[in-house]
Amino acid sequence: MKRLVLIRHGKSSWDNNFPDHKRPLKKRAYNDADLVIKAFKHFYEPGALFWTSYAVRAHETAKLFKQGLNIPENDFKVLEELYSFNQNDLLSVIKSCTDETDRLFVFGHNPAMTILVNSLGDKKIDNLPTTGLCVIDFEASSWNDIRNGKTILTLLPKNLR
């Protein structure tokens, strides 16, 4: 079985004239991450890989989860290819995960995240909001074979406030 956890980056700031990949998190993003991490801690099983986009807003969100869930440094990777808004590109990166890994967390961007949640899982959502988390399980032994998964958990910050 493979478990994929998709997490959209936290709410970012448009206050400065930064390039897209350098936009920082807003204060709300830290509060939202704290809510989601606290709710998810009861569900989390150690022994997963954490992959994040290099964009500041995604990387910072991933670091909050890393700290909150006590993720070892060697299980945490920043991947340039995850800075994508295209679901096919994102899925291609996910499918590149080694089959020895059974649980993969991916921190990325919309619209790719919402489209993947809806195309891979069995519960549709209108939008995976910032800091939204979705867990999808697959009856597959290879990441290359993931499809038609079962959505087993969706955590949205607005439902935890």
Q: Specify the pLDDT at position 15.
A: 84
Q: Specify the pLDDT at position 17.
A: 86
Q: Rounded to 5 degrees, what angle do the CA atoms 156, 66, 1 make?
A: 70
Q: Specify the pLDDT at position 12.
A: 96
Q: Where are the domains of the chain?
A: 1-10+21-102+141-161
In the chain, which stretches have pLDDT less than 50? none
Q: Specify the pLDDT at position 159.
A: 96
Residue range 68-115, pLDDT digits in tens: 999 999 999 999 999 999 999 999 999 999 999 999 999 999 999 999
Architecture of the CATH domain 1-10+21-102+141-161: 3-Layer(aba) Sandwich (3.40)
Q: Specify the pLDDT at position 31.
A: 97
Cα separation, 159 vs 60, whole angstroms: 22
33-44 b/e (C-beta count within 10 Å ≥ 16 → b): bebbbebbeeeb
Q: Specify the pLDDT at position 14.
A: 87
Predicted TM-score (pTM) above 0.95: yes
Q: Specify the pLDDT at position 16.
A: 81
Is the CB of residue 108 less than 8 Å from the CB of residue 51?
no
| Three-state secondary-structure class, residue 9 | coil
